[in-house]
Amino acid sequence: SPVAETFRVIEGAMSEEYVRTTQGVFQFELSGDGGGTWYIDLKTKGGSTGRGKPPVTADVVMSMSSEDFVKMFT
């Protein structure tokens, strides 16, 4: 799905520098195609992305359509 592909690209772009300077966990509640709960962890060593709840408590939770999420990151 476009959402899964967007998260794959985000994870590929992660670096220790982003994690060190951001120190935040973002949870996305997405509606529509490919929706559900997803996260970007820029707090835990190495960073990560995935489907479902983040491994640690989210600092920010955003709700939007999956279409808007993909637009936001492209």
- Residues of the domain holding 28: 2-72
The tens digit of pLDDT for each residue in 3-62 reads 999 999 999 999 999 999 999 999 999 999 999 999 999 999 999 999 999 999 999 999
The size of the chain, in residues, is 74
Percent of the chain with pLDDT strictly greater than 90? 96
For residues 55 and 48, the answer to whether their CB atoms sit within 8 Å is yes
Query: Taking CA 13 as the corner, what is the angle to CA 25 and CA 27, rounded to the nearest 5 degrees?
Result: 20
List the CATH number of the domain containing 41: 3.30.1050.10
Quote the number of domains for the chain.
Answer: 1
